[in-house]
Chain A
Amino acid sequence: MSTTDGPTLIPDDSSAQEIADREAKMRRRKGWFPGLSDKWNALPRQTQWLFLIIVVVIAYLLPILNPPLITTEPGNNWQIALAQMSVYALIAVGLNVVVGYAGLLDLGYVAFFALGSYTSAMFTSPDSPYVHIPYLWTLPLAMAVAMFFGVVLGVPTLRLRGDYLAIVTLGFGEIVRILATIIPAMKGQVGFQNVGHPPGTDSAGQTIFQNSNGTPWYWLTLSIIIVVLLAAGNLERSRVGRAWIAIREDEDAAEIMGVPTFKYKVWAFAIGASVGGLSGALFAGQVGFVNNQKFDIATSILFVAAVVMGGTGNKVGAILGGALVAYIPLRFTAIAEFKYLIFGAALVIIMIFRPGGLLPARQSLLAYGRLAYNKLRGINGDIPASGKVVLQSGKGADK
């Protein structure tokens, strides 16, 4: 029976019961936080904003609160740990655009991170013979440089099947490290010291953005994350975001439906690369020292692990994953040595047992918004007139 034949049937008792059963089944979602997402979506917008503001305020207060049990002290300075976690979270948000939204596996994301770090270092460090510009100017510059290389690398490879991208980006990640070693201008292992920082002194005349003080760096990165999140959220809901998700789900179908897949893949890759560059510049500023030792492929796999752990395609999940990947080795210093082993194995286990990650992405009907989504799923009670017909076809299929 199809949706096109016959007049609409009025539900009798048994089919009404069936409607209720189906709804209950739909509500009983698999996962560790059953129904949380539905409850959240059912809240009015104002309440959602209120909750978000509270969460953001708590996030900003974290370095001052230094909550016991959660804190990484003793062992690692909590403020600096927070700064690193925030950089990883930003990386994960950027990589999530590439891997999560567009479904392109970028295994050399560390290359863009490195490009950002080196851009920042070479234009601010006294060790560099080049022209010096204020640190904050290097942030957009780092984004531009990373984006440029993202396009240069993406244009030849994104026309091909997706898995070639994985190996090409992997090679690129390694090449950037090798070039940083052999090109004298990039100073190899010696590196650049005293990378710049944002201006400003406190009332006592001390520099605010010191390498030993993570708090201002954490606040800066957190603010940038919020801006990037808002931008990424808007992109996700726009035509671009819908195109990405269409490409991720079925590239051929997307192409047939008129999505210029190549163009949007390059966009995703370039936007991801620029966020990688930005986070690299922030990292360089916070640590204050850049050399070729920090940008190996293993770090790149940690970034992928961050996105996959958090939930591919879910920006909140990406933040959580990024922060966790940085946090776990700092908090549990006993296992820090094995972090690559742990996160490598975690990738396999997550892919097999929980492919959605900690916070799985909701991937349906972004185009029509929450209301239409709830209507179609029949959550808000009243089933649309056509719903019964849909149900009838479902009933036929069941029996």
Chain B
Amino acid sequence: MISEVIPHLLHSVPTDDTWITFDVNALSENFWSSTFDGLTFGAIYALVALGYTLVYGVLNLINFAHSEVFITGCYGVFFTLSALNFGPSAPRLAFWAIVGNLILALVVAIIASAVMAVIVERVAYKPLRQRKAPRLAFLITAIGVSFAIQYTIYWWRGPSPEAALTMFRPLPIFDVFGTIIDSQQVVIVVAAIILMIATDQFIRRSKTGRGIRAVAQDPDTATLMGVNKERIIVTTFIIGGILAGAAALFYVMKIPSGVQYNGGFILGVKAFAAAVLGGIGNVRGALLGGLLIGLIGNYGQVLLGSSQWTDVVAFVVLVLVLIVRPEGVLGSSLGKSKA
């Protein structure tokens, strides 16, 4: 029977094979534009990845709800800008007026995300810590919180994405190898890198940062040394929330119609993949991993011929990294990073 089946299978595969290409030409033609675009997405992934990595470093927990912390920030941006009369077409405002509005949106997004992060920590994870629940219980709770928030938003805002908002018209700034880099890409990448450096320095130099590293290394000893573990955990969630709020602004800037109840979820999986790729628990690794995932996803998309391949490629990269180098490119430990 098998001998009958196999030739039949081979012959009857539909000849329409445009769903997957292996178009090296397209990649070489679009190499620079997909590189810059990939870096832009990568910067957003990196900011979200930091939230996963910090919480993982301190609590050893994949905070699935972090994608909802992020999407809360996106709604913060959306409502602020809607209230400020931003619409689908670029606003006719003076430069400084736009900057002011965006900073206001950023502040709202950061507050929304940080508040959501603290709520999640207090309502879901703290009771579990007090009951000394097993790891599996934390993971199940995390995914439960993630879904509860997602479908609360669904209940409130419905299934379709929010109306698109354009923040400003991207202006060409540089011309690199015949490809134009616009102001939007520059703003996102530069701002993300500044935020990452600030976070890195905060973790390495400040007293709170030392506390975070101490708790990541050994919570019990840290407590004995006078570190307030509970406060450190909440601080970690707040830092993650702040970065997710910033990522939310850039995300809405890049994908104006991406504000949707489940918009954060797959981005969250990719950001987590980025954190693992760079080395989970490693702040610099999150930046590197985010940029790599952004680049690889974009190259894969151009090479394979459909935007839907981005997620598939990112996932395959995650599995490959886990097979080859599970500790990530830069190694994984928040606690071991030098002061």
Is the C-beta of A351 less than 8 angstroms from some C-beta in chain B? yes
Q: Are B140 and A105 in contact (CB under 8 A)?
A: yes
Q: Which of A282-331 touch B at CB < 8 Å? A: 297-298, 301, 304-305, 308, 312
Tell whether B331 is near chain A: CB-to-CB under 8 Å.
Answer: no
CB-contact partner of A178 in B141, B308, B323, under 8 A: B308
Which A residues are CB-close (under 8 A) to B149?
344
- Stretch from A59-67, A72-80, A335-343 that touches the partner: A335-343
Q: Are B143 and A178 in contact, with the CB atoms below 8 A?
A: no
Q: Looking at the complex, which of B130-138, B163-171, B172-180 is the stretch in contact with chain A?
A: B130-138
B58 within 8 A of A: no
Q: Which of A107, A160, A338, A348 has a CB less than 8 Å from the CB of B145? A: A348
Which of chain A's residues have a CB closer than 8 A to the CB of B276? 164, 167
Whether A351 contacts B273 in the complex (CB less than 8 A), given A105-B136, A157-B319, A184-B14, comes out as no
Check: A266 CB closer than 8 A to any chain B CB: no
Alpha-carbon separation in the docked complex, A130 to B62 (Å): 42
Residue on A nearest B311 in the bound complex, by CB = A178
Known contacts A131-B9, A156-B319, A167-B269, then 20 further A-B pairs from the complex at CB < 8 Å, ordered by chain A residue: A105-B139, A129-B14, A160-B326, A164-B276, A164-B326, A167-B318, A171-B273, A305-B144, A308-B140, A341-B151, A341-B155, A344-B143, A344-B144, A344-B147, A344-B149, A347-B147, A351-B128, A351-B141, A355-B133, A355-B137
Closest A residue to B153 by CB, please name it: A341
Chain B residue numbers with a CB within 8 Å of A179 are 312
6 contacts between A and B (CB under 8 A): A168-B322, A171-B315, A172-B315, A179-B312, A341-B151, A347-B140
A170 sits at the interface (CB 8 A): yes
Range, interface on chain A: 35 or more
User: Is residue A163 within 8 Å, beta carbon to beta carbon, of the partner chain?
Assistant: yes
A19 CB to nearest B CB, Å: 30
**CB-defined contacts of A166 to chain B, threshold 8 Å:** 62, 139, 143
Q: Which residues of B contact A167 (CB under 8 A)?
A: 62, 269, 272-273, 276, 318
Instruction: Give the docked Cα–Cα distance between A182 and B128 (Å).
Output: 41
Asked whether any CB of chain B lies closer than 8 Å to the CB of A127, the reply is no
One digit per residue, 1 when the CB lies within 8 angstroms of any chain B CB and 0 when it does not, for chain A 334-376 equals 0001101101111110011001000000000000000000000
**Nearest CB to that of B16 among chain A residues?**
A184
> How many chain B residues touch the partner (CB < 8 A)?
55
Residues of A within 8 A of B20 (CB): 182-183
B13 contacts A by Cβ under 8 Å: yes
* Bound: A73/B155 CA distance, A: 26
Q: Are B147 and A341 interface neighbours, CB within 8 A?
A: yes
Distance to closest chain B CB from A109 (angstroms): 12
If A168-B322, A352-B127 touch, whether A344 touches B141 (CB-CB below 8 Å) is: no
Q: Decide if B141 touches A352 in the complex (CB within 8 Å).
A: yes
Contact, CB under 8 Å: B323 / A156: yes
> Do A348 and B148 have beta carbons less than 8 Å apart?
yes
Q: Which of A103, A164, A185, A308 contacts B13 (CB 8 A)?
A: A185
By beta carbon, the residue of chain A nearest B320 is: A156
Residues of chain A with a CB closer than 8 A to B140's CB = 105, 304, 308, 347, 351
Residues of B close to A99: CB separation below 8 A: 136
Greatest chain B CB density within 10 A among A181, A348, A355 is at A348
State the majority secondary structure of interface residues on A: helix
Q: Does B194 contact A (CB under 8 A)?
A: no
Contacts of B326 in A (CB 8 A): 160, 164
Are A301 and B147 within 8 A (Cβ)?
Answer: yes
| CB atoms of B155 and A338 under 8 A apart | yes
Q: Does A175 contact B (CB under 8 A)?
A: yes
In the complex, what's the smallest C-beta–C-beta distance from B79 to chain A, in angstroms? Answer: 21
- Asked if residues B273 and A352 are in contact (CB atoms below 8 Å), the reply is no
Instruction: Pick the residue among B4, B143, B273, B306 that contacts A107 (CB under 8 A).
Output: B143
Most buried by A among B61, B62, B123, B148: B148
Tell me which of A105, A162, A340 contacts B147 (CB under 8 A).
A340
A158, chain B: closest CB distance, angstroms: 10
Closest chain-A Cβ to B168's Cβ sits at a distance in Å of: 32
Residue of A nearest to B18 (CB): A184
B22 at the interface (CB under 8 A from A): no
Contacts of B8 in A (CB 8 A): 130-131
Once bound together, how far apart are the Cα atoms of A182 and B307, in whole Å? Answer: 10
A146 CB to nearest chain B CB (Å): 18
B5 at the binding interface (Cβ < 8 Å): yes
B299: Cβ under 8 A from any A Cβ? no
Quick one: which of B9, B20, B61, B141 has the most chain A CB within 10 A? B141
Q: Is the Cβ of B151 less than 8 Å from the Cβ of A340? A: yes
Return the CB mask of B307-334 against A: 1 if under 8 Å, else 0.
0110110010011001100100000000
A156→B318 CA distance, assembly (Å)? 11
Cβ–Cβ contact B322 & A182, under 8 A: no
> Would you call B152 an interface residue if the criterion is a C-beta within 8 Å of the partner chain's C-beta atoms?
yes
Do residues B318 and A171 form an inter-chain contact, with CB atoms below 8 A?
A: yes
Q: Report the nearest A residue to B316, measured CB to CB.
A: A175
For the complex formed, measure the closest distance between the CB of B320 and the CB atoms of chain A, giving whole angstroms. 8
Are A131 and B5 in contact, with the CB atoms below 8 A?
yes
List B contacts of A164 (CB < 8 A): 276, 322, 326
For residue B128, which residues in chain A have a CB less than 8 angstroms away from its CB? 351-352
Which of B136, B148, B152, B319 makes the CB contact (< 8 A) with A162? Answer: B136
Kindly list chain B residues whose C-beta atoms are within 8 Å of the C-beta of A184. Answer: 14, 16-17, 19
Q: Which residues of A contact B311 (CB under 8 A)?
A: 174-175, 178
Instruction: Find out whether the CB atom of A344 lies under 8 angstroms from the CB atom of B150.
Output: yes
B121 to chain A, nearest CB (A): 13
Residues of B within 8 A of A352 (CB): 124, 127-128, 131, 141
Q: With an 8 A cutoff between CB atoms, is B266 at the interface?
A: yes
Indicate if B85 sits at the interface (CB-CB under 8 A). no
B12 interface residue per 8 A CB criterion: yes
Task: Provide the bound-state CA to CA distance between A166 and B269, in Å.
Answer: 11
Contacts of A308 in B (CB 8 A): 140
List residues of chain B with CB within 8 A of the CB of A348.
Answer: 123-124, 141, 144-145, 148
Say whether B265 faces chain A, with CB atoms less than 8 Å apart. yes
Q: How far is the CB of A217 from chain B (nearest CB, A)?
A: 27
- When the two chains form their complex, are residues B14 and A341 in contact, meaning their CB atoms are under 8 A apart? no
B218-234 residues at the A interface, CB under 8 angstroms: none
* Contact of B272 with A345 in the complex, beta carbons under 8 Å: no
Say whether B184 faces chain A, with CB atoms less than 8 Å apart.
no
